[in-house]
Structure 1
Amino acid sequence: MSTIRFTCQRCYQPLKLSQSSETLGLDTSREAAAASLPSAPGEPGKTPEEGPTSAGETDVEKRQDGASGGPIPGDGRLCWLVPSIFTLLGKLGPGRTLHSIQKSVQGTFDILSGEEDLDQPLCQDCTDNLLEHLDTQLRISEADGQSYKRGLEAGERVGEDDRETLQEELRAAELEEARLVRELEEVEKSRERAARSLAAAQAETAVLGQQESQYRRDCSALQWQQLELFDELRSVENQLHCAQTQLARLERTNALRSAFDIRNDGPVALINNFRLGCLRAVPVSWNEVNAAWGQAALLLLALSNKVGLQFRRFRLIPCGSRSHLKYLSKSSVELPLFCDQGQSGPLFSKFDHAMMAFLDCMQQFKKEAEKGEGPGLCMPCRMHVAEGLIQEPGAGGEAYSIRTYPNTQERWSKALRLVLTNLKCSLDWVSLKYCPK
């Protein structure tokens, strides 16, 4: 014999039969009849089928009343099946087996639970909760029914005129509703159009934002380039200003006077700090004298080029301390305008001829400078090229020979001083006439 076991479908707590049911010999496998069920208390001699209701129905109804919140009556004769554990709903008739009772209980609980797939009973607490829920729904349904009934009664009491008025109001409300629906549709369409316009505007705004960012970057690059160009322009302007200032200073500067400095206020005349001459009291080396003659030849050549003079008979070749002259008719013959210490004889003769040729070139320059418009060149010392003499300023001035033999150091140095005097006057005249201030 096996024991019948149930589980609550909601709280899943095990439901067991009471011990009294086990002692009664209930067997689910054999589906024994439930004829031994005690009858409910009533009139003596009546069977469970007699009377309006059986004892089982009375007990079940009493249990349902207890689940709805009321007290549970009865003397416990039916509670031997599920005493305070679960509730069996339905009618108990004669000859019903335990299997049929279980199927009835199962169907009842399926109906109460609203679920067709339930195959287990409910415990007492879950049944009470379920019945309370059903009572609440029943009360709500009854309240709705009463409200609907009162509405119907009020509608029946409304007169014909009021009904027509209400019908007109209803038609007006329907027309207003239709108008509002159309307006709502128009508003929805407008909203959709506005949404599309907004999306297009947002897309255009994004594109314009990107273009603005690109324009800003380009503008920043151009501004940076402009600043660099301004810096370069200011730098070029500063350079131009410096160049103009230097040009103005150079224009005011006399290149010939800056390049050649002649002084004849000492015992021996100087040109660019080289002494041209020699005295017993002031001995001068031949190297310095040769360098002075080279500076004098360079100055005379620069002055002749300035006035556009081409020398006849001789050609000046300034080479520092080794300057010399050449015959134009005899290109192979050179006249050295320098002298080495210890030389004598023919070498001194060539040196004398070179100094006389230099004096001839100075005379040619004088004649060329006296030509043309404006004041001519006035050399204070008169030159006699054929004799190799140069005369002091004035009508009765003494003449000195430019040759070294026969001559003395004092007279030769005096002649060289007069030569530099004429060169200085020529330099001043060219500077005033050909070099702008």
Structure 2
Amino acid sequence: MSDEKLLVSFACQRCLQPLRLDDTFNYLNEHTLAELTLPVISNPDVDLESQATSVDHFVHPCRLSDSGNGINGFMLISDSGEVETISNQMRVRATLFDTLSENSHIDHPLCDECADALIEMLEQQVKLTHNDYDDYCEYLRKLESDSEDLHLDTLEQELHSLHDEEKRLLDELERMKEEESAIVLAIEEQERISQRLTQDEERYWRQYTSHRRDLMATDDEYRSVECQLEYTQSQLEKLKKTNVFNATFHIWHSGHFGTINNFRLGRLPSVPIDWSEINAAWGQTALLLAALARKINLTFDRYKLVPYGNHSYIEVDFNLLPSFKLTKFL
């Protein structure tokens, strides 16, 4: 019954298959325990506190010996002596596997297949390590043999040559710096010139725009004056062709009466006409006669026409003769 319970006490830490351990794991002497406590691979100490800011949480490695009585929380119901023996065996085995896990990067226990695979992997790593060791040894021997062939004179010549090259490069660097400074100054000067030219260009464009606006305004004014001149010339030609006297004094007839500016000259017993209209007509006649006299520079000897609307009159030898009285004699 004890053997059947031990079948499921431990599992392989890689493939998780249940393990049945040999009875020799039940008892460990001091010599065996001392050998197991020796580290298989030196594990570097890691300060977890200094890495607390970059680690979210840290999971401690599993320890089989911390699981209560070594049976992962399960209690075997049997005789007290048998239970104590099983508990002691479980504790010894858990301590063994914890010691092995702490002294290497590999968690224990392992099954035969995983152990063989692990051994094969370790042998491959050992082989690669031996190859690296051989390569390093060969490289070291080569370096030692090359160092014996070097001559001090050659090294001094190379050093002198390097010093000369360094001096030449420093001189060239200094010359390049001077050229760079000159180029920077030239660029600054060109930038100032470019800025000045830009300002001049803007000023010229403003002047051009102003002159262009003035030119357009002058052109509009010229066209307006030209149109006014054409209109004035056309009116002048029209006036030249117009008879002023015909336009001012319209002489026609109305029935039995002659008219001037639609005012009738005279009356008949059968057609009575108001004297104010007749006086106005004779006033227009006196005005026309005076205008014609001035036009032809005619001067009357005894008579003087005084046009004064419907109150016009004629002076005869400096005697007043109202024009409306003339109608009484007609």
- For Structure 1 versus Structure 2, the TM-score category normalised by the shorter chain is 0.5 to 0.7
The residue type paired with residue 193 of structure 1 is: A
1:230 aligns with 2:219: yes
Counterpart of 1:358?
none
The residue type paired with residue 164 of structure 2 is: L
Counterpart of 1:295?
284
The residue type paired with residue 258 of structure 1 is: A
1:186 aligns with 2:175: yes
Counterpart of 2:210?
221
* Superposed displacement of residue 219, structure 1: 2.8
* Structural mapping, 1:166-185, within 5 Å: 171-185=160-174
Computing the radius of gyration from Cα coordinates, the structure with the larger value is: 1
The CA distance in 2 between the partners of 1:172 and 1:263, in whole Å, is: 133
Counterpart of 2:188?
199
1:158 aligns with 2:150: yes
* Superposed displacement of residue 68, structure 1: 6.8
- Report the TM-score, using the length of structure 1 for normalisation: 0.40
Q: Structure 2 residue aligned with 1:261, among 250, 265, 268?
A: 250
Q: Structure 2 residue aligned with 1:336, among 313, 322, 325?
A: 322
* Superposed displacement of residue 224, structure 1: 2.6
The CA distance in 2 between the partners of 1:153 and 1:221, in whole Å, is: 91
Q: Is the 8 A contact 2:279 2:311 kept in 1?
A: yes
Structure 1, unpaired ranges of 5+: 1-61, 70-146, 339-350, 356-402, 405-411, 413-437
1:209 aligns with 2:198: yes
- Report the TM-score, using the length of structure 2 for normalisation: 0.52
Residues 287/230 of structure 1: CA separation in 2 closer, same or farther (3 Å cut):
same
Q: Structure 2 residue aligned with 1:275, among 239, 264, 281?
A: 264
Structure in which a larger fraction of residues adopt helix: 2
Residues 243/229 of structure 1: CA separation in 2 closer, same or farther (3 Å cut):
same
Secondary structure of the residue that 1:315 maps to in structure 2? strand
Residues 301/167 of structure 1: CA separation in 2 closer, same or farther (3 Å cut):
same
Q: Is the 8 A contact 2:254 2:264 kept in 1?
A: no
Residues 175/283 of structure 1: CA separation in 2 closer, same or farther (3 Å cut):
same
Q: Is the 8 A contact 2:264 2:277 kept in 1?
A: yes
The CA distance in 1 between the partners of 2:143 and 2:170, in whole Å, is: 29
The residue type paired with residue 271 of structure 2 is: V
Counterpart of 2:309?
320
Q: Structure 2 residue aligned with 1:243, among 226, 232, 249?
A: 232
* Superposed displacement of residue 189, structure 1: 1.0
Structure 2, unpaired ranges of 5+: 1-37, 46-138
The CA distance in 2 between the partners of 1:176 and 1:67, in whole Å, is: 50
* Superposed displacement of residue 326, structure 1: 1.8
* Superposed displacement of residue 241, structure 1: 2.0
The root-mean-square deviation of aligned C-alpha atoms, in Å, is 4.2
Residues 310/153 of structure 1: CA separation in 2 closer, same or farther (3 Å cut):
farther
Secondary structure of the residue that 1:319 maps to in structure 2? coil
Secondary structure of the residue that 1:200 maps to in structure 2? helix
Residues 149/306 of structure 1: CA separation in 2 closer, same or farther (3 Å cut):
farther
Report the count of equivalent residues.
214
* Superposed displacement of residue 301, structure 1: 0.6
The CA distance in 2 between the partners of 1:217 and 1:148, in whole Å, is: 83
Residues 281/185 of structure 1: CA separation in 2 closer, same or farther (3 Å cut):
same
* Superposed displacement of residue 261, structure 1: 1.6
Residues 268/155 of structure 1: CA separation in 2 closer, same or farther (3 Å cut):
same
Identity of aligned residues (%): 35
The residue type paired with residue 223 of structure 2 is: R
* Superposed displacement of residue 306, structure 1: 0.7
Q: Structure 1 residue aligned with 2:297, among 308, 314, 321?
A: 308
* Superposed displacement of residue 275, structure 1: 1.0
Secondary structure of the residue that 1:321 maps to in structure 2? coil
Q: Is the 8 A contact 2:260 2:285 kept in 1?
A: yes
The CA distance in 1 between the partners of 2:225 and 2:308, in whole Å, is: 41
Residues 148/322 of structure 1: CA separation in 2 closer, same or farther (3 Å cut):
farther
Secondary structure of the residue that 1:309 maps to in structure 2? coil
Residues 222/152 of structure 1: CA separation in 2 closer, same or farther (3 Å cut):
farther
Counterpart of 2:92?
none
The CA distance in 2 between the partners of 1:152 and 1:209, in whole Å, is: 72
* Superposed displacement of residue 200, structure 1: 2.2
**What is the CA deviation profile of residues 107-147 of structure 1, one whole-angstrom value per residue up to 9, with x for unaligned ones?**
xxxxxxxxxxxxxxxxxxxxxxxxxxxxxxxxxxxxxxxx9
* Superposed displacement of residue 256, structure 1: 1.2
Residues 199/171 of structure 1: CA separation in 2 closer, same or farther (3 Å cut):
same
Residues 248/316 of structure 1: CA separation in 2 closer, same or farther (3 Å cut):
same
Deviates more, 1:284-293 or 1:224-233: 224-233
* Superposed displacement of residue 291, structure 1: 1.0
The CA distance in 1 between the partners of 2:243 and 2:200, in whole Å, is: 64
The residue type paired with residue 244 of structure 2 is: A
The CA distance in 1 between the partners of 2:303 and 2:222, in whole Å, is: 54
